[in-house]
Amino acid sequence: MNTDLMIVSIFLIVTLVIGFYCGRGVTTFRDYAIGRKKMSSFVLTVSLIATTYGGIILNYRLDALYREGFYAFIRYLASAINFYLATRFVIVRMKEFTGHFSVAESMGSIYGLTVRMFSAIFGIMLTTALIASQFKVGLRISTILYPEIEKFPIYSAMFLAGLVILYSTFGGARAVAFTDVYQFFFFGICCPILICAFLYYAKNPLENWRSIQEIPEFNIKKMLVWDEALKCSLTFLLWRSIFPLDPARIQRFYMSSSVYQARKVYRNGAIVRAVLVFVFFSVALALHLGGHKVSTNQNVLDYIIELSYFPGMRGVLITAIIALLMSTADSNLHAASILFANDVLPVLTGKIRDANYTPSLRTVRIASVFIGFISLFVVLQTTNISQLMNKTVHLYGPAVTVPLIMSCFGFRPRSAAVLLTMLTSSAITLYRISYKAQDISQRNVFESLILSMIILFIYHYFLPKLPNTGWVGIKDRSAVELQNQETKYWWTKQMYNFKTLFTRQYRESLFPKKERSFILWGMYFILNTLLALCFIQKDYFNGYIYWYIAVMAIGTILIAYPSFDIYNRKPSYIYFVWPVLLVILLFVSSIQFAKLGNFVPMACALLICHLAASMVFFSLKVSIATLVLSIVLHKFIPPVLPWESLWNTLKWEINLEFIIAGVLSGISITGFGVYKYIRERMDVKLRIIELARSYERRISLEAIYNQVNWHRLDPTHGSDILREIGKMLEEPYQYLYANNQEKLGESVNLFMRKLSEFSNLLLQRAKEERSLKLRKKAIQAIAIKPIIFKAHNDTCNLDESMQLLLRNKTKTTILNVDPDLFERLLTINFLGISTSEQAIEHVVILTIADTSLRYNYVETNDSSENDTLTLTALAFCISTDSNLPNISPLYDITNEVTSVFLPKTEAQLYQAESRQIVQAHGGYVEIIETKNDLTCLYILPVSGEQVMHFKTYDPATLASEIAETPESLIQEKELITLLTAETTLSKETVEKTIAFIKNAHGLIKRKSGEPYYTHLMAVAKILLDVTKDPETILAGLLHDIVEDTPVTLSQIQIMYGNQIAYIVDMVTHYKTNGYRWKLDDKENKNILYECKDIRVIYAKLADRLHNLRTIHFKKPEDQKRIAKETITFYIPWGKSNNVSVWLSEMQHICEKILNIKK
């Protein structure tokens, strides 16, 4: 059996099997048309490229590249450029079309049913011509297998057409896409085989290279001369840069799950197309290097097929060409059948007006078979297939491509203008084809596109205008904004990475962390150098032996380095020396050793080992850049080898040395590559673990602190409150039993108030136990955008291909928050939402907008009105939904215990953590999750220190120790004796209060070094000069406890009653109804001026007096500030309330500080 025919047959059978297997389960028109939109980006990209590169393109391009060299190379770069431009400017603007089935449906959605039908008809004509062109190539190629059989090409073409019709008709989109992948990769393996075969069998490659240099088309210096050939190539590059939006290629847009996936598919397609131009050019260049001379009357592809370097080569090449033409034919047949069933037939029958109408699967399959046989008929009846293609493109481009591209840029004329443009352009084309009988070139196609655009503008501006026509823009710009931001982010990241190379942090990251690393690398450099020394050329030995010795000496120093004292000290200069050593050892020396070894296989293998080892320390970009710089540097380092001698040295024979060198190179690349991959994966996992553990450790520590703090301060410990309530009920009970009088009512009323305060205390404790507390010193004014950039970068570094669309709707750039927590909030949300089921292509939309937060507080017994505070805030809406979120101008926060958020899955833990972070900043949280969308709304006050939940204690003070000195204990005893003797306070009450303030203030000390509670005792003692009122004295002892410790006013109310709590509240300048915020100076003074309670005045002035008596421990500037404040406010305030006992002393101290002379 013919080997070539057997290869082709096996390929066709496998194609048919793949087509039927992948097409199983097609039950609806949607399955047939777009394959349920669940195909991967890889499959769609390969299918797009396979659709683009048909047999006819390969036929012409190889021939042009072989004969025209760089001129053809420039022209064909347009194929990559038009894909890139389409990705950049067209695909991203087509988001409103993502739910459609075809390009004609998209046209109809803007311009009406008539335009839709005409677009479909022009599309069917174009796809039919493309199908026919592929079958025509198959007809010509088939003659090579059995040239002696006259009818074989026709039969084979018919068989090929039937096969394509069979699997594409019954398999639909999935069958077409997956067979495209198989067909394209079969073709892909042929190009490297051809290049290697041409070079391997080349007899005089160096002489052939010199001959190529003499050909102007392959000489860059001669080519870069402005002449007619270069002008034509650049002109071709220009007009071929317009993406035609033909039905088959644009169908991959409709098969994509989203516009973001489509953008990725077409962007990757642009890269692949650019690579393929290089590959085709390499094949043409390898033909010249191999000494192949193809006559002008013979096609290069036909010449290659006739070569037989090994058995079956012809069959492989023919199969590769068949694979290309089948992948293009099936995609166009699929697109044509959709156009007919979805856009032509429903319009003609009127069923399109039914909103629930969907074409049947039978209809589209019949259309596919019918169009397939029409294409085959065209093949058999047409001689000039290229002209047929150009003519149909000439019809389709001006009629469909131009209006659709213009609509993507926001220009949408009335339907009549588009329809007239279609008819006018078609009439001009038919006139040139039929009446003038002109041949249509690709340049004519470009000119027709420009003419069509001009005609469209003329019709639009001359016809009466309708509302919502003209430059109205596109409906959804989110994809465009995302693309622009991603581009800006990419450049910002590159600049950031470049700057990082010169930082100490980067140099430290290159430095090995373990002792054994230095030992292993030192041994590696010594061993590599010894092997390189074995292959040095004799002529170089005497002159360059010291280079080898120096490298081995450096390796020895590396081995011994951990034993040096400098290893433990790690001076800063060592981080400069290490990168320089790496560059010298891994790049400069390795290239030098390869030169000294005359580039024999083993010398090159050792060079490859060093380059692979460099990947352990540097990134790929840095390694390549350093390698290029090292090569340039070696132009000035002797010995300098000319290129001719280098070419001769690289003509290795396959012997034992060559095999060992190949194995060594493979082992080094694989070993270092696997090590780097594993290390990077482990680094990613460690970063994820650290991301989770850092917050877990913090929240666990906070929980322990809160428990210890409440255990220390909670007055309900040991059921003291309950016992007190029980004692209070004993007397009313006995009185009720004896006399049944009104006193019971007062006791019960007091009992109810106690219960109310107790419930408030429990409420406060519940809030404390479920919340995160901030450190006041950690709050900073930060720039928002750099934190967003860092969080985005950190998320991407966790091996997540996240895309962030930032919509900044505010002019506010600064936010007062804990920077670490805010960065963590963004990072965990970016990571959690981008990996959620609702995220499409890992796209996350962050919208920042202005809003407000209103803090509503619970009504208290002392106030008949609710106290409110409204703060300016920023809304951070992190979502998978591209629609603009509906952000309210005002959000309310109440004084209630928020319900515990219970994550449904482990993936939602970030939401619970985010709630804690936002609520700690006094913010608002709202999370909406549906089947299709996930939205996390976080509202943070711009400057919310007033409402932030600060930690009011130092964890160091939670230990059982308290700040006591022998002197302070003596003061305690004196005060207890004094208060017991001169007031009605019992010894037990005084001792209990002093113990309470000692525990609350913990280890805190004053500037003088004395325990803080000595100040409180001194204030109580000063108060004895003017009053014996027990409530005033106790308030003096407690006056700083609410301000400086976590003790709340509710606790004071339960333990000491409302009167003492009121005095403490007024003295500490606080107004607490659930939330506390500090009053500004003006507000503070107004409250104190309005205060007529003499007890508050006494306590406040006594506090101020003791602070003045000990003011010499403060800084001079603080002394002057306090003295000035005392003279301007507190002394006049005391006089206005007829308090004169301490004012003269206060006046004297202040004047002395301020140097005021009477």
Distances (CA, A) of 656 to 91, 116, 201, 652, 662: 55, 69, 21, 11, 10
Give the C-alpha separation, 344 to 370, whole Å.
14
Under CATH, which architecture does the 776-941 domain have?
A: 2-Layer Sandwich (3.30)
The average pLDDT across 1105-1109 equals 89
CA 476, CA 94: separation in Å to the nearest integer? 9
Mean pLDDT confidence for 175-188: 89
What does the pLDDT read at residue 455?
Answer: 93
**How far apart are the C-alpha atoms of 183 and 175, rounded to whole Å?**
12
Q: At the top level of CATH, which class does the domain 3-31+40-349+357-374 belong to?
A: mainly alpha
Query: 23 near 175, Cβ under 8 Å?
Result: yes
Structural tokens at position 1122:
């306090």
Residue with token string 């396959």: 654
The span from the CA of 457 to the CA of 935, in Å, is: 42
Average pLDDT value over all residues in the chain: 82
Structure confidence by residue, pLDDT tens digits, 880-932: 988 878 899 999 887 655 555 556 666 677 888 888 889 889 899 999 888 88
Task: Check residue 754 and give its pLDDT.
Answer: 64
Considering only CA atoms, give the Rg of the chain.
42
The answer to whether 394 touches 448, Cβ cutoff 8 Å, is yes
Query: Tell me, what's the pLDDT at 110?
Result: 92
Average pLDDT over residues 625-654: 72
The 10 Å CB-count burial string (b at 16+, else e) for 542-562 is: eebeebbeebbebbeebbebb
pLDDT at 151 over 50: yes
Q: Which residue has the higher pLDDT, 537 or 907?
A: 537
Alpha helices in 873-960 (DSSP H): 909-920
What span, in angstroms and rounded, lies between the C-alpha atoms of 592 and 603?
A: 10
Beta strands 868-879 and 803-808: pairing type? unpaired
Residue 756: its pLDDT value, please?
58
Alpha carbon distance 826, 190 (integer Å): 48
The domain segmentation of the chain, as residue ranges, is 3-31+40-349+357-374, 382-463, 511-686, 714-769, 776-941, 962-1154
Look at the alpha carbons of 651, 654, 656, 658 in this order and tell me if their dihedral is positive or negative.
Answer: positive
Q: Do the Cβ atoms of 909 and 901 come closer than 8 Å?
A: no
Mind spelling out the 3-state secondary structure of 549-581? HHHHHHHHHHHHHHHCHHHHHCCCCHHHHHHHH
pLDDT tens profile 963-973 = 788 888 888 88
Q: Which of 13-22, 640-649, 1031-1040, 1109-1118 has the lowest mean pLDDT?
A: 640-649
pLDDT band at 338 (very low <50, low <70, confident <90, very high): very high
Instruction: Please give the pLDDT value at position 997.
Output: 86
SS percent in the chain: helix, strand, coil, step 5: 70, 5, 25
User: Token pair of 73, please?
Assistant: 């190379």
What are the pLDDT digits (tens) for 468-500? 888 988 888 888 888 888 888 888 888 888 888
Cα gap 1127→1130, rounded to integer Å: 6
Sorted by sequence, the CB contacts under 8 Å of residue 680 that are 6+ apart come out as none
Instruction: Lowest mean pLDDT of 25-39, 283-297, 750-764, name the range.
Output: 750-764
Which value, to the nearest 10 degrees, does the dihedral of the CA atoms of residues 301, 302, 306, 312 take? Answer: 60
d(CA 532, CA 1041): 77
pLDDT at 219 over 80: no
**What whole-number percentage of the chain has pLDDT above 70?**
85
Helix (H) or strand (E) holding 782: strand 780-783
Closest CA to 488 of 782, 792, 241: 792
Band of residue 200 on the pLDDT scale cut at 50, 70, 90? confident
Mean pLDDT (whole number) for 776-790? 90
**Amino acid letter at 630?**
S
- Which residues, 6 or more positions from 794, have their beta carbon under 8 angstroms from its beta carbon? 687, 823, 827
Q: What is the DSSP code (8-state) at residue 433?
A: I
Are residues 844 and 828 in contact, defined by beta-carbon separation less than 8 angstroms?
no
Asked which of 61-65, 198-202, 363-367, 944-948 is least confident by mean pLDDT, the reply is 198-202
CA pair distance 371, 998, nearest whole angstrom:
94
Q: Is 90 exceeded by the pLDDT of residue 539?
A: no
How many angstroms separate the CA atoms of 995 and 988, rounded? 11
**Is-contact 713 1046, C-beta < 8 A?**
yes
pLDDT tens per residue across span 568-604: 888 888 888 999 999 999 999 999 998 888 888 888 8
Predicted local distance difference test score (pLDDT) of residue 570: 80
pLDDT confidence band for 1136 (50 / 70 / 90): confident
Q: Are 450 and 411 in contact (CB under 8 A)?
A: no
Domain 962-1154, CATH among 1.10.3210.10, 3.40.50.200, 3.30.413.10, 3.40.50.2300: 1.10.3210.10
Q: For residue 1011, what is the DSSP state?
A: B
- pLDDT at residue number 482: 86
Alpha-carbon distance of 491 to 1086, in angstroms, equals 55
Evaluate whether 321 touches 156 at the Cβ level (below 8 Å).
no
Q: What does the block give as tokens for 549?
A: 């010795």
- Residue 432: is its pLDDT beyond 80? yes
Tokens of 44: 């769609």
**pLDDT for residue 619:** 87
* Per-residue pLDDT at 662: 84
Task: Give me 194's structure tokens.
Answer: 């051809």
What is the 8-class DSSP label of residue 885? P
Both tokens assigned to 1155: 């140097």
Q: How confident is the model at residue 860 (pLDDT cuts 50, 70, 90)?
A: very low
pLDDT band (50, 70, 90) for residue 750: low
pLDDT band for position 743 (cuts 50, 70, 90)? low
d(CA 251, CA 333): 11
Query: In angstroms, rounded to a whole number, what is the distance separating the alpha carbons of residues 793 and 787?
Result: 10
Question: What distance in Å separates the CA atoms of residue 951 and residue 705, rounded to the nearest whole number?
Answer: 10
Q: For residue 40, give the DSSP letter.
A: -
Q: Which residues lie below 8 Å from residue 483, measured CB to CB, with a gap of 6+?
A: 88, 92, 263
Least confident of 454-458, 724-728, 1056-1060: 724-728
pLDDT digit string, tens, across residues 1068-1105: 753 333 333 333 445 555 555 566 678 888 888 898 88
User: 31 exposed, middle or buried (CB, 10 Å; 0-12, 13-18, 19+)?
Assistant: middle
pLDDT of residue 847: 93
